[in-house]
Amino acid sequence: MRNHRRLVLIAAAVVALVWWGSQVAAFHDEGVADCAGCHTMHNSQDGALVDPDSPNGNPWLLVDASPSDTCLNCHGTRLGAVFAVDPLTPAPEKGGGNFIFLTEDNINDGHGGATNPIVGDAAGHNLDAPGHGLAPDATLTSAPGGSFPASQLGCTSCHDPHGTDAFRLLYGAGRQVQDGVATFLNPAPVAEGLSIFFGTESDSSHTAYQGGMSAWCGNCHGDFHDEAGGRLEHPSGSTLGGSIATAYNLYNGTIDQTGGVAATAYLAQVPFEDAANTTGSTAGPTAGSTVMCLTCHRAHASSAPDAGRWDFAVTFMFEDGDESGSFDMSSLLVGNYANQNQRSLCNKCHNQDEFDHNPF
Ligand code: HEC
Ligand code: HEC
Ligand code: HEC
Ligand code: HEC
Ligand code: HEC
Ligand code: HEC
């Protein structure tokens, strides 16, 4: 190809990319997007049904059968890809996690898990999205610790379809959710996320959790896990204190329990809240940092029961996926954590593997 032709082609490609970038970059724009992106007034365009799944239309005049199906049409396999297509090859992790694990036939990697399947609906928040093969949770009828009905749970139970200026368009205090299914009492969490167009979670590129997540989950889960009402539970939304923060900073995996340094101690699989966190920060916690719901859970779903950031029922992390045949979450671990001796990530704060024998 002659050089000037190549240059013209490259210039055209750049223009196309910039055009495409400006088109995709703006839909919600931290507020209400163009109505036609999600609604259809007559369910008819060019004489054809806009939503063939609902020949008689649907209650909110949406372009697909349910609110969650409408969101998944854009966000299922791109724009953050929160669903993906195959639970064994999930889309890159950005923080929330993939709903595709809800379709697993077994996520039980505990002892005897192969013959005692735990089906995918325990992998996290179930959604009413028949167009994507999803249905409300078959086991839990409401949010443990609270009363939000599982039958109504979908994307728009947490994210405002008409937009907010909060982190990830999440609902805040005083807001009525889904036409009044619930009213949130606590504000949206303070955090900053990765771009949904590119990038993947790592120890130096991750959601910057800054505050308020536990209270926000509490909008539906009440005071679950909060030791309120006299119950003894693991703290959430509480400060770590000096000795746990020090343990976190020193712990650099089962094979190096005291070799870590505070400046690089951040482990994306075991995050904490701190006002100083940024999406690129690698620093570990201080005494005033907070343990919170997403220290142990994903907000959407994971390949472990209870949306665990790691499987709470395996002894060695590398055993993940072995019994169940589901996605191996230990494949996401790197550095000193990526070896067969690595035990439960609870040790990042508690270091109970101190006196263990390393068998491998
Ligand atoms: C990102 C998708 C999306 C966009 C864009 C959107 N809507 Fe909606 N809208 C929904 C969903 C989903 C519901 C169903 C209620 C729910 O799930 O919260 C809804 C419900 C409604 C309702 C009835 C319930 C309510 O919340 O008052 C009205 C009216 C409405 N939308 C109007 C609009 C108008 C007008 C626009 C454009 C300015 C718009 N919507 C843009 C998704 C969207
Ligand atoms: C027509 C395609 C389309 C539909 C339908 C759609 N989105 Fe989006 N969404 C986008 C695009 C493009 C972006 C990135 C740009 C932006 O935020 O405007 C985005 C961004 C987001 C973000 C990240 C915002 C941030 O600030 O980080 C969330 C959360 C989200 N969408 C949720 C939803 C939910 C919930 C629904 C269903 C009610 C929905 N989207 C429907 C295209 C769509
Ligand atoms: C809009 C209400 C709502 C919010 C907000 C909410 N949840 Fe839930 N959650 C539910 C409901 C309803 C269920 C039970 C149905 C299900 O599991 O699908 C549930 C179930 C769960 C489960 C158990 C999943 C299973 O199947 O065993 C976990 C873990 C969980 N939530 C954690 C969280 C965390 C962490 C947050 C905050 C990031 C959060 N939830 C925010 C409504 C909510
Ligand atoms: C129980 C509440 C809840 C439900 C239900 C929920 N989300 Fe989220 N979503 C969150 C929270 C919280 C985050 C931020 C998670 C983080 O960064 O750790 C998030 C993050 C996101 C992001 C940013 C990318 C990522 O993976 O972190 C997108 C896009 C998104 N959600 C879309 C959706 C769509 C589409 C649905 C329905 C198919 C949905 N969400 C259902 C709470 C929820
Ligand atoms: C230190 C880790 C940790 C923290 C922090 C944590 N959880 Fe959990 N969560 C777990 C484990 C482990 C389980 C499995 C059941 C158990 O051990 O009680 C679980 C189970 C759950 C369940 C399922 C309960 C059921 O009956 O099926 C829900 C819902 C839940 N957590 C919500 C939350 C919420 C909301 C927060 C924040 C307020 C939170 N968790 C904070 C570790 C944690
Ligand atoms: C981000 C740090 C962090 C992680 C990760 C974490 N914890 Fe904790 N844990 C704490 C804090 C802070 C306390 C309160 C300690 C105190 O008050 O002295 C605590 C208390 C406890 C206690 C009560 C012990 C006591 O001294 O009263 C137990 C048991 C416990 N955690 C188990 C777990 C398990 C099991 C996991 C993994 C599922 C886990 N923790 C993950 C920070 C963490």
- Joined together, the tokens standing for residue 77 give 């396999």
- Ligand 6 nearest-atom number relative to CA 346: 37
Which of 53-57, 157-161, 341-345 has the weakest average pLDDT?
53-57
- Ligand 5 nearest-atom number relative to CA 346: 1
Measure the CA–CA gap between 63 and 66, rounded to whole angstroms.
9
Cβ proximity of 331 and 340 under 8 Å: no
Distance (angstroms) between ligand 4 centre and the Cα of 295 equals 16
- Ligand 3 nearest-atom number relative to CA 122: 26
Q: Atom 11 in ligand 2: which residue has the minimum CA distance?
A: 27
Q: Which ligand is nearest to the CA of 216?
A: 3
Of 66, 21, 81, 91, nearest in space to 161 by CA: 66
- pLDDT at residue 220 above 70? yes
- Joined together, the tokens standing for residue 245 give 């923060």
- Predicted local distance difference test score (pLDDT) of residue 8: 45
Q: Which ligand is nearest to the CA of 273?
A: 6
- Residues 297-312: what's their mean pLDDT? 98
Q: Which ligand is nearest to the CA of 189?
A: 4
Q: Tell me whether residue 122 is exposed, middle or buried, using C-beta atoms within 10 angstroms of its C-beta: 0 to 12, 13 to 18, 19 or more.
A: buried
CA distances from residue 274 to 59, 146, 224, 277, 294 in whole angstroms, order as listed: 42, 27, 21, 5, 13
Tokens 């889904």 belong to residue: 178
- Predicted local distance difference test score (pLDDT) of residue 5: 52
- Ligand 2 nearest-atom number relative to CA 170: 29
- Residues 128-137: what's their mean pLDDT? 95
Measure the CA–CA gap between 344 and 3, rounded to whole angstroms.
57
Of 335, 347, 343, 344, nearest in space to 359 by CA: 343
- Distance, C-alpha 272 to centroid of its chain: 15
| Count, residues in the chain | 360
- Predicted local distance difference test score (pLDDT) of residue 97: 97
Measure the CA–CA gap between 32 and 41, rounded to whole angstroms.
17
- Predicted local distance difference test score (pLDDT) of residue 174: 95
Measure the CA–CA gap between 269 and 95, rounded to whole angstroms.
10
Q: Atom 1 in ligand 1: which residue has the minimum CA distance?
A: 161
- Predicted local distance difference test score (pLDDT) of residue 223: 79
- Distance, C-alpha 52 to centroid of its chain: 30
Measure the CA–CA gap between 360 and 304, rounded to whole angstroms.
24
- pLDDT at residue 17 above 50? no
Give residues (CB < 6 A) around ligand 5.
144, 214, 217-218, 221, 224-226, 234, 236, 291, 293, 295-297, 306, 312
Tokens 């409401």 belong to residue: 142
Which of 29-43, 93-107, 180-194 has the weakest average pLDDT?
29-43
